[in-house]
Amino acid sequence: MSLRKLAEAAGISNPYLSQIERGLRKPSAEILKSLARALSISAETLYTRAGLLDEAGVRHDVPEAIAADDHLSKTQKNALMEIYTSFVGNHEEEKT
């Protein structure tokens, strides 16, 4: 996805997104949530990939597979990610 299309899908300006990309701006949590929605990934996954959260046992191949599946709507992708992260969280709690 191009920077321009991502900015449009997230509802933010292209120059602002460019500044975020270059490290000139630090986006708010709301902007990050908008970007995650536009990318059809969970905000948690975006935060983890950005290095803002620890891994917490999330396998990258599962969220990537969900995000890449063209047969799923955004709503379905978000629901699957919520279910997956809830299972991973519960699994990690059972280990301790």
Q: Is the model more confident about 43 or about 19?
A: 19
- pTM, to two decimals: 0.54
pLDDT, mean of residues 2-6:
92
Choose among 30, 48, 41, 78: nearest CA to 16. Answer: 30
Phi and psi angles of residue 14, each rounded to the nearest 5 degrees, phi first: -60, -45
What angle do helix axes 74-95 and 61-68 make, rounded to 10 degrees?
170
| 26-75 tens-digit pLDDT | 888 888 889 999 999 888 888 777 766 666 555 567 888 888 888 899 99
